[in-house]
Structure 1
Amino acid sequence: MSDFDGLRALVTGGASGIGRATAELLAERGAQVAVLDLDPSSVTKPLLAFRADVTDDASVREAVAAAVAELGGLDVLVNNAGIGAQGTVEDNDDEEWRRVFDVNVLGMVRTARAALPHLRDSRHAAIVNTCSIAATAGLPQRALYSATKGAVYSLTLAMAADHVREGIRVNCVNPGTVDTPWIGHLLDAAPDPATERTALQARQPTGRLVTAAEVAGAIAYLAGPLSGATTGTSLAVDGGMQGLRLRPAGR
Protein backbone atom coordinates (compact mmCIF):
# COMPACT_ATOMS: atom_id res chain seq x y z
CA MET A 1 0.00 0.00 0.00
CA SER A 2 1.11 3.55 -0.65
CA ASP A 3 -1.67 5.53 1.01
CA PHE A 4 0.86 7.54 3.04
CA ASP A 5 2.89 8.75 0.05
CA GLY A 6 3.91 12.37 0.63
CA LEU A 7 2.79 12.41 4.26
CA ARG A 8 4.99 13.23 7.24
CA ALA A 9 4.49 11.42 10.56
CA LEU A 10 5.81 11.69 14.10
CA VAL A 11 5.65 8.73 16.50
CA THR A 12 6.45 9.10 20.20
CA GLY A 13 7.82 6.10 22.05
CA GLY A 14 8.78 4.85 18.62
CA ALA A 15 11.99 2.98 19.41
CA SER A 16 10.30 -0.26 20.50
CA GLY A 17 7.03 -2.13 20.85
CA ILE A 18 3.86 -0.65 19.37
CA GLY A 19 5.60 2.61 18.50
CA ARG A 20 8.37 0.92 16.53
CA ALA A 21 5.93 -1.33 14.67
CA THR A 22 3.83 1.74 13.81
CA ALA A 23 6.76 3.82 12.63
CA GLU A 24 8.01 1.02 10.40
CA LEU A 25 4.55 0.35 8.96
CA LEU A 26 3.94 4.01 8.12
CA ALA A 27 7.34 4.17 6.43
CA GLU A 28 6.58 1.00 4.44
CA ARG A 29 3.37 2.63 3.25
CA GLY A 30 5.13 5.73 1.98
CA ALA A 31 5.38 8.17 4.87
CA GLN A 32 8.44 10.01 6.05
CA VAL A 33 8.60 9.12 9.72
CA ALA A 34 10.34 10.71 12.68
CA VAL A 35 10.60 8.82 15.97
CA LEU A 36 10.73 10.59 19.32
CA ASP A 37 11.98 8.47 22.19
CA LEU A 38 13.87 8.75 25.45
CA ASP A 39 16.46 6.41 23.93
CA PRO A 40 16.28 6.43 20.11
CA SER A 41 19.70 4.79 19.65
CA SER A 42 18.20 1.63 18.11
CA VAL A 43 16.27 3.55 15.44
CA THR A 44 17.69 3.17 11.93
CA LYS A 45 16.95 4.60 8.50
CA PRO A 46 14.62 5.28 6.84
CA LEU A 47 13.24 6.35 10.21
CA LEU A 48 14.53 9.63 11.63
CA ALA A 49 15.47 9.55 15.30
CA PHE A 50 15.13 12.35 17.86
CA ARG A 51 15.64 12.19 21.59
CA ALA A 52 12.78 13.56 23.68
CA ASP A 53 11.56 13.25 27.26
CA VAL A 54 7.77 13.64 27.18
CA THR A 55 7.80 14.79 30.82
CA ASP A 56 9.89 17.84 29.85
CA ASP A 57 8.03 20.47 27.82
CA ALA A 58 11.21 22.13 26.52
CA SER A 59 12.57 18.75 25.38
CA VAL A 60 9.34 17.95 23.54
CA ARG A 61 9.12 21.34 21.83
CA GLU A 62 12.74 21.16 20.73
CA ALA A 63 12.41 17.62 19.36
CA VAL A 64 9.13 18.32 17.56
CA ALA A 65 10.56 21.47 15.99
CA ALA A 66 13.66 19.60 14.82
CA ALA A 67 11.63 16.69 13.44
CA VAL A 68 9.21 18.95 11.58
CA ALA A 69 12.10 20.92 10.11
CA GLU A 70 13.70 17.71 8.82
CA LEU A 71 10.41 16.30 7.54
CA GLY A 72 9.37 19.56 5.92
CA GLY A 73 6.03 19.64 7.72
CA LEU A 74 3.73 17.37 9.69
CA ASP A 75 0.56 15.46 8.81
CA VAL A 76 0.29 12.70 11.42
CA LEU A 77 1.05 12.54 15.14
CA VAL A 78 0.99 9.18 16.90
CA ASN A 79 0.98 9.77 20.65
CA ASN A 80 2.29 6.42 21.81
CA ALA A 81 4.86 7.02 24.58
CA GLY A 82 3.70 5.55 27.86
CA ILE A 83 4.62 3.46 30.88
CA GLY A 84 2.85 0.80 32.91
CA ALA A 85 1.90 0.46 36.55
CA GLN A 86 0.60 -2.37 38.71
CA GLY A 87 -1.40 -2.52 41.90
CA THR A 88 -4.67 -1.51 43.52
CA VAL A 89 -5.45 2.05 44.52
CA GLU A 90 -3.56 1.42 47.77
CA ASP A 91 -0.34 0.13 46.29
CA ASN A 92 1.25 3.22 44.71
CA ASP A 93 2.18 6.39 46.55
CA ASP A 94 1.42 9.94 45.42
CA GLU A 95 4.78 10.30 43.70
CA GLU A 96 4.18 7.24 41.54
CA TRP A 97 0.70 8.47 40.62
CA ARG A 98 2.18 11.80 39.54
CA ARG A 99 4.97 10.10 37.59
CA VAL A 100 2.71 7.81 35.56
CA PHE A 101 0.18 10.57 34.83
CA ASP A 102 3.07 12.83 33.82
CA VAL A 103 4.17 10.35 31.14
CA ASN A 104 0.90 8.80 30.01
CA VAL A 105 -1.36 11.85 29.98
CA LEU A 106 0.66 15.04 30.18
CA GLY A 107 3.20 13.55 27.77
CA MET A 108 0.46 13.41 25.14
CA VAL A 109 -0.66 16.93 26.01
CA ARG A 110 2.85 18.32 25.60
CA THR A 111 3.45 16.57 22.29
CA ALA A 112 0.07 17.52 20.82
CA ARG A 113 0.53 21.11 21.96
CA ALA A 114 3.86 21.31 20.15
CA ALA A 115 2.54 19.56 17.02
CA LEU A 116 -0.79 21.35 16.53
CA PRO A 117 0.58 24.52 14.88
CA HIS A 118 2.20 22.31 12.23
CA LEU A 119 -0.80 19.98 11.82
CA ARG A 120 -3.01 22.98 11.03
CA ASP A 121 -1.03 23.44 7.82
CA SER A 122 -1.80 19.90 6.63
CA ARG A 123 -4.66 18.79 4.38
CA HIS A 124 -4.56 15.31 5.98
CA ALA A 125 -3.97 16.10 9.64
CA ALA A 126 -4.54 13.29 12.12
CA ILE A 127 -3.65 12.47 15.71
CA VAL A 128 -3.87 8.92 17.05
CA ASN A 129 -3.45 8.32 20.78
CA THR A 130 -2.51 4.91 22.16
CA CYS A 131 -5.09 4.21 24.84
CA SER A 132 -5.95 0.78 26.32
CA ILE A 133 -8.67 -1.74 27.10
CA ALA A 134 -7.98 -0.56 30.67
CA ALA A 135 -9.87 2.66 29.85
CA THR A 136 -13.17 0.83 29.33
CA ALA A 137 -12.92 -2.43 31.28
CA GLY A 138 -12.08 -2.96 34.93
CA LEU A 139 -8.83 -4.91 35.16
CA PRO A 140 -7.46 -6.19 38.47
CA GLN A 141 -4.22 -4.73 39.81
CA ARG A 142 -4.22 -1.86 37.29
CA ALA A 143 -5.82 1.06 39.18
CA LEU A 144 -3.20 3.69 38.39
CA TYR A 145 -2.61 2.56 34.81
CA SER A 146 -6.35 2.38 34.16
CA ALA A 147 -6.86 5.89 35.52
CA THR A 148 -4.30 7.30 33.10
CA LYS A 149 -5.82 5.49 30.14
CA GLY A 150 -9.31 6.61 31.11
CA ALA A 151 -7.93 10.14 30.98
CA VAL A 152 -6.42 9.48 27.54
CA TYR A 153 -9.78 8.22 26.27
CA SER A 154 -11.59 11.35 27.50
CA LEU A 155 -8.79 13.57 26.24
CA THR A 156 -9.13 12.01 22.77
CA LEU A 157 -12.84 12.85 22.61
CA ALA A 158 -12.28 16.40 23.83
CA MET A 159 -9.46 17.00 21.35
CA ALA A 160 -11.57 15.61 18.51
CA ALA A 161 -14.30 18.13 19.35
CA ASP A 162 -11.85 21.00 19.72
CA HIS A 163 -10.03 20.48 16.43
CA VAL A 164 -12.53 18.94 14.00
CA ARG A 165 -13.32 22.31 12.42
CA GLU A 166 -9.61 22.88 11.91
CA GLY A 167 -9.49 19.75 9.78
CA ILE A 168 -7.58 17.74 12.40
CA ARG A 169 -8.95 14.29 13.18
CA VAL A 170 -8.27 12.77 16.62
CA ASN A 171 -8.84 9.11 17.46
CA CYS A 172 -7.40 6.45 19.75
CA VAL A 173 -6.68 2.73 19.71
CA ASN A 174 -7.54 0.56 22.69
CA PRO A 175 -5.23 -2.46 22.66
CA GLY A 176 -5.73 -5.49 24.84
CA THR A 177 -2.66 -7.18 26.29
CA VAL A 178 0.07 -6.75 23.70
CA ASP A 179 3.16 -8.90 23.51
CA THR A 180 5.67 -6.08 24.06
CA PRO A 181 8.89 -5.72 26.09
CA TRP A 182 6.87 -4.29 29.01
CA ILE A 183 4.69 -7.41 29.20
CA GLY A 184 7.88 -9.46 28.96
CA HIS A 185 9.24 -7.67 32.04
CA LEU A 186 6.00 -8.33 33.94
CA LEU A 187 6.13 -12.00 33.07
CA ASP A 188 9.79 -12.29 34.05
CA ALA A 189 8.96 -10.79 37.45
CA ALA A 190 6.02 -13.14 38.08
CA PRO A 191 6.48 -16.11 40.45
CA ASP A 192 5.39 -18.43 37.62
CA PRO A 193 5.86 -16.69 34.24
CA ALA A 194 4.30 -19.53 32.23
CA THR A 195 1.13 -19.56 34.35
CA GLU A 196 0.89 -15.76 34.19
CA ARG A 197 1.22 -15.77 30.38
CA THR A 198 -1.49 -18.42 30.15
CA ALA A 199 -3.79 -16.28 32.31
CA LEU A 200 -3.18 -13.19 30.16
CA GLN A 201 -3.88 -15.17 27.01
CA ALA A 202 -7.02 -16.75 28.43
CA ARG A 203 -8.73 -13.45 29.25
CA GLN A 204 -8.76 -12.53 25.54
CA PRO A 205 -11.41 -14.44 23.56
CA THR A 206 -8.92 -15.22 20.78
CA GLY A 207 -6.81 -17.06 23.35
CA ARG A 208 -3.60 -15.22 22.54
CA LEU A 209 -1.87 -11.90 23.12
CA VAL A 210 -2.26 -9.08 20.62
CA THR A 211 0.80 -8.36 18.47
CA ALA A 212 2.40 -4.94 18.10
CA ALA A 213 1.92 -5.24 14.34
CA GLU A 214 -1.83 -5.64 14.77
CA VAL A 215 -2.04 -2.47 16.84
CA ALA A 216 0.15 -0.68 14.29
CA GLY A 217 -2.30 -1.67 11.56
CA ALA A 218 -5.17 -0.09 13.48
CA ILE A 219 -3.17 3.08 14.10
CA ALA A 220 -2.31 3.31 10.42
CA TYR A 221 -5.98 2.98 9.50
CA LEU A 222 -7.01 5.82 11.83
CA ALA A 223 -4.07 8.00 10.76
CA GLY A 224 -4.49 7.55 7.02
CA PRO A 225 -6.40 9.70 4.54
CA LEU A 226 -8.75 6.81 3.68
CA SER A 227 -10.38 7.26 7.13
CA GLY A 228 -11.03 10.96 6.55
CA ALA A 229 -14.56 10.76 8.00
CA THR A 230 -13.42 9.08 11.24
CA THR A 231 -12.81 11.24 14.30
CA GLY A 232 -13.59 10.95 17.99
CA THR A 233 -13.45 7.15 17.72
CA SER A 234 -11.77 4.49 19.84
CA LEU A 235 -10.81 1.33 17.97
CA ALA A 236 -10.47 -1.81 20.10
CA VAL A 237 -7.62 -4.15 19.16
CA ASP A 238 -8.09 -6.60 21.98
CA GLY A 239 -8.94 -10.03 20.62
CA GLY A 240 -12.61 -9.43 21.44
CA MET A 241 -11.99 -8.69 25.11
CA GLN A 242 -14.16 -5.57 25.25
CA GLY A 243 -17.26 -6.77 23.48
CA LEU A 244 -17.46 -10.58 23.57
CA ARG A 245 -18.83 -12.72 26.37
CA LEU A 246 -18.06 -16.35 25.51
CA ARG A 247 -19.25 -19.43 27.29
CA PRO A 248 -16.51 -21.50 28.93
CA ALA A 249 -14.67 -23.69 26.43
CA GLY A 250 -16.47 -26.92 25.66
CA ARG A 251 -19.93 -25.70 26.72
Structure 2
Amino acid sequence: MGSERVAVVTAAGRGIGEACARRLTEDGYTPVLFSKSGAAVDVAEDLGGVGFEGSVTDPADLEALVDAAVERYGRVDAVVNNTGHPPTGDLLDIGDDEWHDALDLVLLNVVRTARLVTPVMREQGGGSLVNISTFSAFEPSADFPVSSILRAALGSFTKLYADRHAADGIRMNAVLPGYADSYEVDDETRAQIPMGRPAATEEIADAVAYLASPNASYVTGQNIRVDGGLTRSV
Protein backbone atom coordinates (compact mmCIF):
# COMPACT_ATOMS: atom_id res chain seq x y z
CA MET A 1 0.00 0.00 0.00
CA GLY A 2 1.17 3.54 -0.74
CA SER A 3 1.79 6.11 1.96
CA GLU A 4 -0.05 9.15 0.58
CA ARG A 5 -3.69 9.74 1.46
CA VAL A 6 -6.12 9.38 -1.43
CA ALA A 7 -9.69 10.71 -1.70
CA VAL A 8 -12.23 9.59 -4.30
CA VAL A 9 -14.98 12.14 -4.97
CA THR A 10 -17.88 11.57 -7.37
CA ALA A 11 -19.82 14.28 -9.21
CA ALA A 12 -16.75 16.43 -8.61
CA GLY A 13 -16.92 18.64 -11.67
CA ARG A 14 -18.86 21.45 -10.03
CA GLY A 15 -20.85 22.50 -6.96
CA ILE A 16 -20.55 20.57 -3.71
CA GLY A 17 -18.47 17.80 -5.27
CA GLU A 18 -15.86 20.21 -6.61
CA ALA A 19 -15.78 22.08 -3.29
CA CYS A 20 -15.17 18.79 -1.46
CA ALA A 21 -12.37 17.87 -3.85
CA ARG A 22 -10.66 21.20 -3.32
CA ARG A 23 -11.06 21.10 0.47
CA LEU A 24 -9.71 17.56 0.76
CA THR A 25 -6.76 18.47 -1.44
CA GLU A 26 -5.99 21.34 0.93
CA ASP A 27 -5.99 18.76 3.74
CA GLY A 28 -3.33 16.74 1.97
CA TYR A 29 -5.34 14.16 0.06
CA THR A 30 -4.53 13.28 -3.53
CA PRO A 31 -7.86 13.60 -5.39
CA VAL A 32 -9.27 10.93 -7.68
CA LEU A 33 -12.30 12.62 -9.22
CA PHE A 34 -15.25 11.48 -11.28
CA SER A 35 -18.14 13.13 -13.10
CA LYS A 36 -20.58 12.35 -15.87
CA SER A 37 -19.81 15.57 -17.72
CA GLY A 38 -16.07 15.04 -17.67
CA ALA A 39 -15.54 18.36 -15.87
CA ALA A 40 -13.91 16.47 -12.99
CA VAL A 41 -10.97 15.72 -15.28
CA ASP A 42 -10.16 19.43 -15.46
CA VAL A 43 -10.65 19.93 -11.72
CA ALA A 44 -8.35 17.00 -10.96
CA GLU A 45 -5.68 18.31 -13.31
CA ASP A 46 -5.84 21.67 -11.53
CA LEU A 47 -5.46 19.95 -8.15
CA GLY A 48 -2.67 17.57 -9.09
CA GLY A 49 -4.76 14.42 -9.05
CA VAL A 50 -6.48 12.34 -11.68
CA GLY A 51 -9.99 12.58 -13.07
CA PHE A 52 -12.33 10.31 -15.00
CA GLU A 53 -15.55 10.64 -16.94
CA GLY A 54 -18.36 8.24 -16.10
CA SER A 55 -21.69 7.73 -14.36
CA VAL A 56 -22.33 6.75 -10.76
CA THR A 57 -25.30 4.74 -12.06
CA ASP A 58 -23.00 2.42 -14.05
CA PRO A 59 -21.42 -0.34 -11.92
CA ALA A 60 -18.65 -0.82 -14.48
CA ASP A 61 -17.71 2.86 -14.32
CA LEU A 62 -17.54 2.75 -10.53
CA GLU A 63 -15.39 -0.36 -10.62
CA ALA A 64 -13.04 1.26 -13.13
CA LEU A 65 -12.78 4.35 -10.90
CA VAL A 66 -11.83 2.43 -7.78
CA ASP A 67 -9.49 0.13 -9.70
CA ALA A 68 -7.71 3.15 -11.18
CA ALA A 69 -7.25 4.73 -7.75
CA VAL A 70 -5.81 1.54 -6.30
CA GLU A 71 -3.60 0.79 -9.30
CA ARG A 72 -2.20 4.33 -9.37
CA TYR A 73 -1.88 5.10 -5.66
CA GLY A 74 -2.26 1.77 -3.87
CA ARG A 75 -4.96 2.90 -1.45
CA VAL A 76 -8.25 4.75 -0.89
CA ASP A 77 -8.52 6.67 2.38
CA ALA A 78 -11.67 8.70 1.83
CA VAL A 79 -14.69 8.44 -0.45
CA VAL A 80 -17.24 11.20 -0.97
CA ASN A 81 -20.37 9.76 -2.57
CA ASN A 82 -21.92 12.78 -4.27
CA THR A 83 -24.53 12.66 -7.04
CA GLY A 84 -26.92 14.73 -9.07
CA HIS A 85 -30.55 15.32 -8.22
CA PRO A 86 -33.32 12.75 -8.80
CA PRO A 87 -36.57 13.76 -10.54
CA THR A 88 -39.20 15.90 -8.89
CA GLY A 89 -42.95 16.05 -9.45
CA ASP A 90 -46.21 15.05 -7.86
CA LEU A 91 -45.74 11.87 -5.84
CA LEU A 92 -47.97 9.56 -7.88
CA ASP A 93 -47.06 11.08 -11.25
CA ILE A 94 -43.45 9.88 -11.07
CA GLY A 95 -43.02 6.86 -13.29
CA ASP A 96 -41.45 3.51 -12.44
CA ASP A 97 -38.47 4.12 -14.71
CA GLU A 98 -37.74 7.38 -12.89
CA TRP A 99 -37.90 5.62 -9.52
CA HIS A 100 -35.54 2.88 -10.71
CA ASP A 101 -33.10 5.39 -12.21
CA ALA A 102 -33.13 7.38 -8.96
CA LEU A 103 -32.47 4.24 -6.94
CA ASP A 104 -29.27 3.77 -8.95
CA LEU A 105 -28.40 7.45 -8.59
CA VAL A 106 -28.74 8.06 -4.86
CA LEU A 107 -28.64 4.68 -3.09
CA LEU A 108 -27.21 1.81 -5.12
CA ASN A 109 -24.23 3.93 -6.17
CA VAL A 110 -23.23 4.09 -2.49
CA VAL A 111 -23.83 0.37 -1.96
CA ARG A 112 -21.76 -0.51 -5.01
CA THR A 113 -18.92 1.83 -4.12
CA ALA A 114 -18.84 0.44 -0.58
CA ARG A 115 -18.51 -3.09 -1.95
CA LEU A 116 -15.52 -1.96 -4.01
CA VAL A 117 -13.59 0.07 -1.45
CA THR A 118 -14.27 -1.89 1.74
CA PRO A 119 -11.71 -4.65 1.02
CA VAL A 120 -9.12 -1.98 0.17
CA MET A 121 -9.79 -0.01 3.34
CA ARG A 122 -9.83 -3.14 5.48
CA GLU A 123 -6.43 -4.19 4.14
CA GLN A 124 -4.88 -0.77 4.74
CA GLY A 125 -6.32 -0.51 8.25
CA GLY A 126 -9.24 1.86 7.83
CA GLY A 127 -10.88 4.64 5.89
CA SER A 128 -13.86 6.97 5.78
CA LEU A 129 -16.88 7.24 3.49
CA VAL A 130 -19.10 10.31 3.46
CA ASN A 131 -22.44 10.28 1.66
CA ILE A 132 -23.95 13.53 0.43
CA SER A 133 -27.66 13.29 1.26
CA THR A 134 -30.31 15.99 1.74
CA PHE A 135 -32.06 17.93 4.50
CA SER A 136 -35.35 16.25 3.52
CA ALA A 137 -34.15 12.71 4.23
CA PHE A 138 -35.81 12.71 7.66
CA GLU A 139 -38.35 15.49 7.13
CA PRO A 140 -39.83 14.45 3.78
CA SER A 141 -40.62 17.27 1.38
CA ALA A 142 -43.37 17.05 -1.22
CA ASP A 143 -41.18 19.26 -3.40
CA PHE A 144 -38.49 16.55 -3.47
CA PRO A 145 -40.38 13.26 -3.07
CA VAL A 146 -37.91 10.86 -4.71
CA SER A 147 -34.91 12.40 -3.01
CA SER A 148 -36.65 12.41 0.39
CA ILE A 149 -37.68 8.76 0.21
CA LEU A 150 -34.52 7.23 -1.22
CA ARG A 151 -32.17 9.28 0.92
CA ALA A 152 -34.04 8.16 4.02
CA ALA A 153 -33.03 4.68 2.87
CA LEU A 154 -29.48 5.98 2.41
CA GLY A 155 -29.49 7.04 6.06
CA SER A 156 -30.40 3.50 7.10
CA PHE A 157 -27.69 2.01 4.91
CA THR A 158 -25.19 4.48 6.37
CA LYS A 159 -25.97 3.31 9.91
CA LEU A 160 -25.97 -0.41 9.11
CA TYR A 161 -22.70 -0.20 7.17
CA ALA A 162 -21.07 1.88 9.90
CA ASP A 163 -21.97 -0.66 12.57
CA ARG A 164 -20.82 -3.57 10.45
CA HIS A 165 -17.39 -2.13 9.66
CA ALA A 166 -16.53 -0.05 12.72
CA ALA A 167 -14.25 -2.78 14.04
CA ASP A 168 -12.32 -2.63 10.75
CA GLY A 169 -11.54 1.03 11.34
CA ILE A 170 -13.86 2.03 8.49
CA ARG A 171 -16.34 4.82 9.16
CA MET A 172 -19.38 5.93 7.16
CA ASN A 173 -21.37 9.09 7.77
CA ALA A 174 -23.76 11.24 5.79
CA VAL A 175 -23.95 15.01 5.37
CA LEU A 176 -27.44 16.44 4.87
CA PRO A 177 -27.16 19.82 3.14
CA GLY A 178 -29.95 22.33 2.89
CA TYR A 179 -30.05 24.71 -0.03
CA ALA A 180 -26.63 25.58 -1.44
CA ASP A 181 -25.45 28.48 -3.56
CA SER A 182 -24.58 26.18 -6.44
CA TYR A 183 -28.25 26.47 -7.44
CA GLU A 184 -30.64 29.40 -7.68
CA VAL A 185 -32.49 30.03 -4.40
CA ASP A 186 -35.57 32.23 -4.66
CA ASP A 187 -36.71 34.72 -2.04
CA GLU A 188 -39.53 32.48 -0.77
CA THR A 189 -37.13 29.61 -0.12
CA ARG A 190 -34.54 31.92 1.40
CA ALA A 191 -37.15 33.15 3.88
CA GLN A 192 -37.59 29.57 5.18
CA ILE A 193 -33.93 29.32 6.19
CA PRO A 194 -33.29 30.64 9.73
CA MET A 195 -29.82 31.84 8.68
CA GLY A 196 -31.44 33.74 5.82
CA ARG A 197 -29.16 32.42 3.07
CA PRO A 198 -28.14 29.24 1.28
CA ALA A 199 -24.93 27.51 2.25
CA ALA A 200 -21.74 28.21 0.40
CA THR A 201 -20.57 24.95 -1.13
CA GLU A 202 -17.36 25.40 0.85
CA GLU A 203 -19.37 25.19 4.08
CA ILE A 204 -20.71 21.80 3.06
CA ALA A 205 -17.19 20.74 2.10
CA ASP A 206 -15.88 21.75 5.54
CA ALA A 207 -18.30 19.31 7.18
CA VAL A 208 -17.33 16.57 4.74
CA ALA A 209 -13.63 17.18 5.36
CA TYR A 210 -14.15 16.92 9.11
CA LEU A 211 -15.96 13.59 8.80
CA ALA A 212 -13.27 12.25 6.48
CA SER A 213 -10.46 13.30 8.80
CA PRO A 214 -8.87 11.66 11.85
CA ASN A 215 -10.50 14.44 13.91
CA ALA A 216 -13.76 12.50 13.49
CA SER A 217 -12.19 9.17 14.43
CA TYR A 218 -15.01 8.36 16.90
CA VAL A 219 -17.86 9.56 14.64
CA THR A 220 -19.60 6.93 12.55
CA GLY A 221 -23.12 6.08 11.43
CA GLN A 222 -24.25 9.69 11.77
CA ASN A 223 -26.41 11.91 9.57
CA ILE A 224 -25.10 15.44 10.05
CA ARG A 225 -27.38 18.30 9.00
CA VAL A 226 -25.69 21.31 7.45
CA ASP A 227 -28.81 23.24 6.57
CA GLY A 228 -28.69 26.64 8.29
CA GLY A 229 -31.42 25.53 10.71
CA LEU A 230 -33.90 24.63 7.95
CA THR A 231 -35.13 21.36 9.46
CA ARG A 232 -37.20 21.52 12.62
CA SER A 233 -36.80 18.16 14.35
CA VAL A 234 -34.22 17.62 17.11
Please give the TM-score of this superposition, normalised by the length of structure 2: 0.91
Equivalents in 1 of 2:127, 2:232: separation in Å?
30
Which of residues 33, 43, 49 in structure 2 aligns to 1:47?
49
Whether 1:94 aligns to 2:92 is no
* Alignment match of 2:219 (pick from 223, 230, 236): 230
CA distance in 2, matches of 1:115, 1:132: 23
Deviations for 1:27-74, whole angstroms, at most 9, x for unmatched residues?
A: 011111110211234323313102232222122111210122222211
Q: Secondary structure at the match of 1:99?
A: helix
The within-5 A match list for 1:1-251 is 6-41=4-39, 42-43=42-43, 44-45=45-46, 46-180=48-182, 183-184=183-184, 197-243=186-232
The share of aligned pairs that are identical, in percent, is 33
RMSD (Å) for aligned C-alpha atoms: 1.8
> Aligned-pair distance for 1:6?
3.4
Q: How many residues were matched structurally? A: 228
Letter of the structure 2 residue corresponding to residue 52 of structure 1: G
Segment of structure 1 superposing worse, 10-19 or 134-143: 134-143
Q: Partner letter of residue 77 of structure 1? A: V
Q: Which runs of 4+ in 1 moved over 3 A?
A: none
Structure 1, residues 195-216: CA drift from partner, whole Å, max 9, x if none? Answer: x611121111101111111110
Pairwise CA distance, 1:138? 2.6
Q: Which residue identity is paired with 1:143? A: P
Gaps of 5+ in 1: 185-195, 246-251
- Please give the secondary structure, in 2, of the residue aligned with 1:141: coil
Q: CA deviation at 1:124?
A: 4.4
Deviation readout 1:1-46 (Å, 9 max, x if unpaired) = xxxx932111111111111000011001111111021123432331
Distance, in Å, in 2 between the alignment partners of 1:123 and 1:109 is 20
TM-score, with structure 1 as normaliser: 0.85
Asked whether the 8 Å contact 2:8–2:33 carries over to 1, the reply is yes
